[in-house]
A and B are shown apart, each in its own frame.
Chain A
Amino acid sequence: MSGARRLLAGLNRRPQLAAASLLGPGTLWLLLFFFVPIAVVFAYSFMTRGVYGGVTGGFTLEHYRRFLDPLYLGVFRRTVTLAVSCTVLCLVVGYPVAYTIARAGRWKNLLLFLVVVPLWTSFLVRTYALIFLLRDTGFVNAVLLALGVVREPLVLLYTPGAVLAGLVYGYLPLMVLPIYVSLEKLDPTLLEAAEVLGARPLARFWRITLPLSAPGVVAGAMLVFIPALGAFLTPDLLGGAKQMMVGTLVQNQFGAARNWPFGSAASFILMAVVLVAVLAYLRLRDRAPMEAVA
């Protein structure tokens, strides 16, 4: 025990060392098993494809050049469009939900719990549940047919709508939570002051609530947009594998196409987009003031 005490006393005198020893193992782990692998992907993206899979050495920019081809640019464009649609839809649906929870008083905790549970439930299970619901012989159609609303089963599964629905269903909680956090921090006196000064409810919302919840909106958008870019399970399982997204492309290259370098290049471009977005977000966050009141 005294040995530990001496050690800690020593560390106490050198705060940098104390911080380093605490940070050390965790950061090392992340470096080794998160950042180094990304670097490996980067390295692979310049190598030549082995005929039977894997790589043979050499240096080539061919894989990145391939992305200038309109075909592959189209894949990216389509993926970004889907991710943006998903984000916008999540925002439109998620903001009101977050707003309601923030105002829910004693129901707040229960509602939050109900939002958090789907978030941590396995994405695969939830996607499978959605398939079970949407197939021609699934639950939704069974109900609609039984109620006589439709005479033929609606084609719900294996459509672009199903993919969008699946993504929104999957990522909605990630939008709701950050918006809720920023709404919760909102100082109610601001709104009261505005009300006293004669502002109408809509104006109060538009000019006070919304701008002050902007950090939450931005955080939520990030948390939805970026994973949505890499989605491949949802377009495959819910979309009938009819559209190729970047995620599907990457998976394909490590599968049937046996073109690891090209797949690595695609992965890395995706990663680059993530990095840019995160940097932009951090810049925004550090620069914009969170409080409007001095």
Chain B
Amino acid sequence: MRRRVPRSLVAFTALCFVLLHLPVLVLAVFSLNRSRYSVQWTGFTLEWYRRLLERPDILAALRVSLTVGAVSTLVSTVLGTMIALALARHRFRGRTLLEGLLYLPIVTPEIVVGISLLLLFATLHMALGIPTIVVAHVAFSVSFVTVVVRARLEGMDRALEEAALTLGADEVATFRRVTLPLLWPGILAGALLAFTMSIDDFVITFFVSGPGSTTLPVLIYSMARRTIEPTINAVSTVLVVVTTVLIFFFDRLTRGREPTEGAL
């Protein structure tokens, strides 16, 4: 690059990055601290992580989070990919309206989404539990998956598909052997994003969870309200590490020709 960035700007940006990551890093570091209450470093220990394995409520919440995550990711990825295909490949009436409507779940405050789903389930006398959480998670993930897959679709070179069609392959075969493999990284990225959002969600899940369906973030919330102990740091760090790994792969998959489109 010919244009250089002023030194002050670099310093400012570096500071911002530090501040952006410092809280979670401190949290993680202190999950390894032997001391229970104080922030004085009294020694390295994995004790708090060991305790996680002994806590049935944490293990149960982990199970619930993974179950909800897996199911909601599957459903929202399928639905989101289908919508993305329709938006990118077809012309139809009401297209702009749909795009606008798809944007709404992304920006709507979570409390509104949570309350509205609670009211819906109340009106329908539907029991709150894992199914209702899955329904909620799919509802807010679909739009995100659509954005990611669509970005991939629009970055794809149609020439390959056209070549396949010209060479005699029909729609199904072209889709199966050309489009889908090319699209696959985008679909996977969308799935990773949906999974990440699902395991990390708190507000919406808080309103729609019921008996035996406490997820990890909801558990962290009630743990943090009761007492301060490094076990909370440990659980949180586990969640953060999992998220970081997922986003790492998401990032890898959405890189390529259009790193800009993929990042969001």
Contact = CB atoms under 8 A, between A and B. Distances in A.
Interface of A: 1, 4-5, 8-9, 12, 15-16, 18-20, 22-23, 25-27, 29-30, 33-38, 40-41, 44, 54, 93, 96-97, 99-101, 103-105, 108-109, 111-118, 120-126, 128-133, 137-139, 142, 169, 172-173, 177-178, 180-181, 184-185, 188, 191, 222-223, 226-227, 229-233, 247, 250-251, 254, 260, 263-264, 267, 270-271, 274-275, 277-279, 282, 286
Given A115-B17, A250-B112, 14 more contacts: A5-B170, A22-B86, A23-B92, A23-B98, A29-B75, A30-B142, A41-B119, A99-B9, A103-B1, A112-B259, A113-B248, A115-B263, A137-B38, A169-B19
B116 A132 contact: no
A111 to B, nearest CB: 8
- Mostly, the A contact residues are helix
Contacts of A104: 5
B16 to A, nearest CB: 5
Contacts of B243: 117, 120-122
Contact of A181 (B13, B103, B240, B264): B264
B43 interface: no
Interface of B: 1, 3-5, 9-10, 12-13, 16-17, 19-24, 26-27, 30, 37-40, 75, 78-80, 82-83, 85-86, 90-92, 96, 98-113, 115-120, 122-123, 135-136, 138-140, 142-143, 146, 170-172, 193, 196-197, 199-203, 217, 220-221, 224, 232-233, 236, 239-240, 243-244, 246-248, 250-251, 255, 259-261, 263-264
Contact of A125 (B24, B86, B196, B263): B24
B105 A137 contact: no
B108 A274 contact: yes
A2 B170 CA distance: 11
Contact of A112 (B21, B196, B251): B251
B22 A133 contact: yes
A254 B118 contact: yes
Given A36-B120, A270-B109, A105 B22 contact: no
A26 B79 contact: yes
Contact of A118 (B20, B107, B111): B20
B260 to A, nearest CB: 5
Nearest to B218: A124
B120 A22 contact: no
- Mostly, the B contact residues are helix
Given A22-B82, A123-B202, A8 B170 contact: yes
A44 B23 contact: no
A138 B115 contact: no
A147 to B, nearest CB: 14
A27 B138 CA distance: 12
A223 B109 CA distance: 10
B255 A37 contact: no
Given A120-B196, A125-B236, A137-B39, A267 B107 contact: no
B123 A132 contact: no
Contacts of A116: 247, 250-251, 263
B170 A100 contact: no
B109 A230 contact: yes
Nearest to B93: A16
19 contacts: A1-B172, A22-B85, A23-B98, A26-B142, A37-B113, A40-B120, A97-B17, A100-B10, A103-B3, A113-B247, A118-B21, A120-B193, A125-B27, A223-B106, A226-B109, A250-B112, A274-B112, A279-B100, A282-B96
A9 B171 contact: yes
Nearest to A141: B39
B202 A124 contact: yes
A109 B259 contact: yes
Contact of B103 (A185, A233, A271, A278): A278
B196 A37 contact: no
Given A8-B171, A22-B90, A100-B9, A282 B111 contact: no
A245 B122 CA distance: 25
A123 B112 contact: no
